[in-house]
Structure formats: structure tokens, C-alpha cells
Amino acid sequence: MDVGMTLPVMEPDLWAQDGTLEEWSRAIDSGPFSSLCFGERLAFDNPDAPTLLGAVAAWTSRVRLVTTVMVPQLHAPVPLAKALATGDRLSGGRLTVGVGVGGRDEDYRAAGADPSTKTIAGMTERVATMRRVWAGEHVVDAVRPVGPPPVQEGGPPILVGTLGPRTIRAASAWADGLAGMSLDLDLAQMAELFALTRESWREAGRPAPRVTTSFWFALGDGAREQVHRHLRHYMNWIPPEYVDALAATAGFAGTEAELRDQLRRIEDLGADEVQLIPTGSDPSQVVRVAELIS
């Protein structure tokens, strides 16, 4: 099973020191990780995802770059397809695109996006347009098609980010796999989601999907408090009392040995990759995880 690492883009102290994201990116690329991941929000203090994609393409040379996830409805699909194709070219064909509907109305408002498009159908339509752009079709009235063409034939692989069976079944017609996320590391629920994904792709007559999952983590003394602090900042659209209740069991908080055991259990479920989500911006976390998975 592969292990990827997410950049700490949702951390409140990210901007306290210049160079944090570059330091993380270079450490991930030089370590045993399979991918460097980052997500998207608009009404928040995180970096802009398409801009960051260009930066991490320059800062790395080996790992796959994975968006976990971008919300196509927050963008015009043709410029988004161009930005992602550019990232694929700058990275030498290392891009995987995770997409999701998104659960925050404030991000739709910030983008000036139509809230009625916050649906599986709205996401599906935009993905179809992006794939047409990547195929070199004339999707607009112009002398030449929108480029550049991506390095990967047909465009970057697309993973669907969801916790819901309805979205998984719908996406089996066009996605290349699952960008899962576990809130509380319920292994039985995780196994059910993996099985549903493989069954849905098989019923759709599609190639076997790439099945990935992710979860928040913190290591060492004060690990649970670190997860709690992170979620209080990140989940700012949810009433604090609900966040506090979730934070008591959310993600992973423990020792390196315990994290190694947790990853082995997920590997036993048949996951292709786990993408760890940090709850702090200290680059030493990358080193500590690298040592335990080497």
C-alpha cells in the first residue's frame, strides 16, 4: 500500500514562516511517500489551489501531485481544465485530480457559483467538459482548441471524493477511483466503502478503480489536543460544540508504532493508498512519518 502526505494548507499558523510549504514539499518528495496532496477552500485562509499546483510542480520531481479535493463547480470548467493541464505539463505528467461536490455554501458564495449546481450532476457535467478540453476538442468558438494538452493521455486520472454511496455509484461511469476520507477511522465502514467502490466500477464495466482514503493525524505528546485545535479552526462552518464532540475521536492521535499498526490494518482492507492529513505545520512530522513507513 502506498502512503501519501498532505500539505498543511488548512493550518492557521501556515503563513507564520515563509517557506513552510516548500520545505514540506521537498521533504515529501525526498521521502518514501507516493504522493503530495492538498485540498481546496475559498472562504478560508488557505492558498489558492491552482496557484499552489504550479509551485509544487516546481518544488518536486518524483511524487504524484493529488488534489484532495477540488470542487469543479467553484470554477469555470474550461479555465480549470487549462490550469490542471498546465500543472500536468509542469509536473511531467504527475497530476491526479480529486474532485468533490463540496459541503460549504460559503465557498459557493465566495466563487459566485450557482448553489443549484452543488449536486452530483453539476460535478459530472463539469468533469465531462474538462475531459473534452484535455482531448483537444473545440469546446468554445475559437480558432484553436484550449491548451496546453496534458502529458497524460486523456488527461490526469480523476478520483471522486465522497463518503456517500450514491455519489460513488454515479461516478463509477467516469471516475478512475475513490478519494475517500475517514472521520473516525471506522475500519468496518471503510471496508464497506471500498467494497462498494469496486462493485460499482465492476457493474459499470470499468477498469478496477484506484481506492484511496485519508485521515487527520497527530503524533506524540499532546496529539489529541493538536487534532482538536486543528478541527476547531478548519471546521469553522460547524457549531463549536459539534466540533468538540467530533474531535474527541476524529482521525489518529498516538505514537509512531500505533500509526504503523493503523496503516497495516487499512492495508489489510485492500486500500491502494492512504493519504495522511497533518493537523500541524511542523515539518518534523514528515520526517517522523517517513521513518516509520521506510
pLDDT band, very low/low/confident/very high, at 168 (cuts 50, 70, 90): very high
17 vs 56: CA distance, rounded Å: 17
286 close to 24: Cβ distance less than 8 angstroms? yes
Instruction: Tell me the pLDDT of the chain averaged across its residues.
Output: 96
pLDDT number for residue 252: 98
Is the CB of residue 152 less than 8 Å from the CB of residue 95?
Answer: yes
Contact 73, 123 (CB under 8 A): yes
pLDDT of residue 14: 86
The whole-number average pLDDT for the span 186-210 is 97
Q: For 243-275, what is each residue's pLDDT tens digit? A: 999 999 999 999 999 999 999 999 999 999 999
The pLDDT value recorded for residue 15 is 84
The percent of residues above 70 in pLDDT, for the chain, comes to: 100
Distances (CA, A) of 199 to 56, 172, 190, 195, 207: 34, 9, 14, 6, 11
Q: With a cut of 90, say whether residue 171 has pLDDT above it.
A: yes
CATH topology assigned to domain 3-293: TIM Barrel (3.20.20)
- In this prediction, residue 190 has a pLDDT band, given cuts at 50, 70 and 90, of very high
pLDDT of res. 160: 98
Q: Please check the confidence at residue 31 and state whether its pLDDT lies above 90.
A: yes
Reported as a pLDDT band with limits 50, 70 and 90, residue 143 is very high
Closest CA to 96 of 104, 84, 106, 108: 84
pLDDT score for 242: 95
Can you give the pLDDT at residue 103?
Answer: 83
Cβ proximity of 140 and 129 under 8 Å: no
Does 16 have pLDDT greater than 90? Answer: no
Q: What is the pLDDT of residue 17?
A: 80
Mean pLDDT value of segment 190-214: 98
**Residue 251 pLDDT:** 98
| Burial call 117-128: b when 16+ CB within 10 Å, e when fewer | bbebebbbebbe
pLDDT tens for each residue of 224-241: 999 999 999 999 999 999
Q: What is the pLDDT of residue 71?
A: 98
The full set of domain ranges for the chain reads 3-293
Residue 25 has pLDDT above 90, yes or no: yes
Read off the pLDDT of residues 45-101 as tens digits, 9 standing for 90 and up.
Answer: 999 999 999 999 999 999 999 999 999 999 999 999 999 999 999 999 999 999 999
